[in-house]
Amino acid sequence: MAGTDSTLSEASLPGGTTPAIILVRPQLAENVGMCCRAMLNCGLDDLRLVAPKQGWPTEKGRAAASGADLVVDGARIVETTEEAIADLTLVYATTARPRDSSGSAQVPKQAAIELRQASEKGQKTGIIFGPEAKGLNNDDVALADSILAVPLNPAFKSLNLAQAVFCISYEWFQAGVDTDVWRKAATTKPRELAPKKDLVHMFDHLETELIDCGFLNPPEKRPAMIQNIRTMFQRAQLTDQEVRTMRGIISGLTRKHERKR
């Protein structure tokens, strides 16, 4: 199974954009390299690294990528998960321990169909993976629309990072091999979801006001309360227009008594 050279045009598949893979604080560059290889195996080339511990690219990382230089060199490095997903409208967070806060976890096969449908409509999508040892923290999970978990042996669920990336990428590729599966499942009317950066601004606005009015007290409970509120709004899959409406509502409610004076 020797590697071959590839170019972006060869690797990309027709029918919309491909999902971005976002690795949050990956510890080992070698693992990142293996993720590059797994991605390109499945026709994905949009890699984003949030604060990779050993930097990127490294010599070991490139060696582990086994010729997937296209992905290695195209990777974007950012400082925060928010930056990494700013231009995306549909984001999945992967976890080995599904939390019930966002409803039930999706399986990769189903998520792959939804990702294909979103790409068809021109939406930009992405999947977030946590660091090797600990997985994603709650703040990162709260930024996602849905949680994704791979059904595995319950007695041994510890999945290598590159295996997790391969699994999701593989299912995405397979969903495109049998195009009928996802085309048939396609829903009738496309909704244009708001970019994540607008959602984050809305959260900032709301949370600032809620701190100001004392709703987010006591301070030690604040992170959990904020997470619950974000989860609720993530689930609503807001459009551009709806985010603007929500911001109007927040401003309206807080202005109310100012205007009366």
By CB under 8 A, is residue 226 in contact with a second copy? Answer: no
By CB under 8 A, is residue 15 in contact with a second copy? Answer: no
Question: Closest approach of Cβ 37 to a second copy, in Å?
Answer: 6
Question: Closest approach of Cβ 116 to a second copy, in Å?
Answer: 15
Question: Closest approach of Cβ 236 to a second copy, in Å?
Answer: 4
Cα 81 from Cα 48, distance rounded (Å): 9
By CB under 8 A, is residue 236 in contact with a second copy? Answer: yes
Residues whose CB falls within 8 Å of the CB of residue 84, separated by 6 or more in sequence, listed in order: 20, 22, 24, 48, 49, 50, 76, 78, 126, 128
Nearer to a second copy, 79 or 214 (CB): 214
Question: Do the beta carbons of residue 24 and residue 131 sit within 8 Å?
Answer: yes
By CB under 8 A, is residue 224 in contact with a second copy? Answer: no
Q: What element of type H or E holds 127? A: strand 125-129
Nearer to a second copy, 66 or 83 (CB): 66
Computed on alpha carbons and rounded to an integer, the radius of gyration of the chain in Å comes to 20
105 DSSP 8-state letter:
P
Helices (H) and strands (E) in the chain, counts: 12, 6
Residues 92-131 contacting a second copy, CB under 8 A: 96, 98, 100, 103-105, 107, 109-110, 130
Question: Do the beta carbons of residue 202 and residue 230 sit within 8 Å?
Answer: no
Question: Closest approach of Cβ 83 to a second copy, in Å?
Answer: 24
SS3 at position 115: helix
Stretch that binds a second copy, among 51-59, 76-84, 119-127, 242-250 (CB under 8 A): 242-250
By CB under 8 A, is residue 182 in contact with a second copy? Answer: yes
